Amino acid sequence: MSALRCPRCGTTFDPPARFCTKDGFPLVPGGAPLPTTPRAFGLHRTGELRLPPARRGDPASGLSGRVMDGRYQMEMRVGEGGMAYVYRAKDRETGRTVAVKVLMSRLVGDQEAVARLRREAQVAMRLDHPNVCGILAWGQASGMPYLVMPFLEGETLSRRETRHGPMPPALGVALLRQLCLGLQHAHDAGVLHRDLKPENVMLVPGEQPGRERAVVMDFGLAKESVAGPEVLKLTATGIVLGTPEFMSPEQIRGKALDRRSDIFALGVLGFELLTGRLPFEGNTAQETMLAHLTGQPIRLRQANPKLPEPLERVMARAIAHKAEERYQTMGEFEEALGESER
């Protein structure tokens, strides 16, 4: 499938994205495919995709072969998001292969963009779990803010879905349970993700042959459960920056969020993973958000009759309209998913 483009701002997205997350416009065909969708910072297998040429006049896009901050040998650019470039690099001090995310030069003077990148580092450096991609370091070199992450060999869940379609229930449920465990760890650390979607999940080889590990990426919109005024101000635009297809009703309304909003988003992600469809559908971002607020979701087995009824009940509860009717913790969601397989 060819790439899609926002007719208003010109931003290019990979399928299966349908709306521009900058202005909400429905996407139209056009443009060459990009390595990652601009609404996320997924890391992709080195050499898997052709990247667009470095943007003329942007020093942050041409760092391959250079040493960042006297420590990180930038080997090659492997990804690009809406705010940053991602490089595979070698940490000269540890010998470890890492991923370095460098803020685009045009955003260096944008205090909110710099604050969001710093915020991502501060939040994710507190996380240490095999199903969460944490942050190793944060810094600034030659006026360019950057953060350092473990380098993950694999592909995003969105790309896997595009290539293979819905997952078999056994595999899909296993990956969802891993994501529940990673997100429970984040929630226990007082961190809400607030932008869960297939583009923000990496599938990497597991320790056992033939097994994969699901890793939650990109805490750029993350928010602490208990936050001060400066954090609330920084994240106040979350309704604009979130992704309509996966936003909880309370997020769309701009209400206070808690872990149950992440549970809703993971439920929508799981529904799409298992069926290839979204439980709430609309032709525009506005229609999709209205469906989240007022419409009834499609039943799981309506979208895929081969799925078991117990799994349908689990997913229906995860995306319940009222937060108090959902699972109250990721641990409860994970346990219910496990029971649905028995």
Domain count, the chain: 3
Q: Is 188 a catalytic residue?
A: no
Q: Strand, coil or helix: what is 98? A: strand
pLDDT value of position 8: 52
Residues 21 and 161 in one domain: no
Looking at the fold, whether 173 and 231 belong to one and the same domain comes out as yes
* Domain interval for residue 96: 36-150
| Statement: the pTM of the whole predicted model exceeds 0.85 | no
pLDDT class for 246, splitting at 50, 70, 90?
very high
Give the full edge-to-edge strand order of the sheet including 67-68. Answer: 67-68, 72-80, 84-91, 97-103, 144-150, 137-141
Asked if 205 contacts 212 with a C-beta cutoff of 8 angstroms, the reply is: yes
pLDDT > 70? residue 46 = no
Q: Which of 14, 58, 69, 195 is catalytic?
A: 195
pLDDT higher than 80, residue 82: no
**Are 319 and 216 members of one domain?**
yes
Specify whether 18 is located in the same domain as 45: no
127-155 per-position pLDDT tens digit: 999 999 988 998 999 889 999 999 998 99
8 A C-beta contact, residue 295 and residue 184: no
Within this chain, do residues 112 and 162 fall inside the same structural domain, yes or no? no
CATH of residue 46? 3.30.200.20
- Both 316 and 204 in one domain: the answer is yes
Domain CATH number, residue 302? 1.10.510.10
Residue 55, pLDDT > 50, answer: yes
For helices 330-340 and 259-275, angle between their N-to-C axes, nearest 10 degrees: 30
Concatenated DSSP letters of 122-187: HHHTT--BTTB----EEEEETTEEEEEEE---SEEHHHHHHHH-SPPHHHHHHHHHHHHHHHHHHH
Q: Give the residue with greater pLDDT, 329 vs 220.
A: 329
Please check whether residues 28 and 125 belong to one and the same domain: no
pLDDT in tens, 189-230: 988 898 899 988 999 998 877 789 999 988 765 665 433 433
> In the prediction, which pLDDT does 40 show?
28
Same domain, 321 and 241: yes
Compute the 3-state secondary structure of the chain and give helix, strand, coil in percent, each to the nearest 5. Answer: 35, 20, 45
**AA letter at 172:** G
Same domain, 145 and 286: no
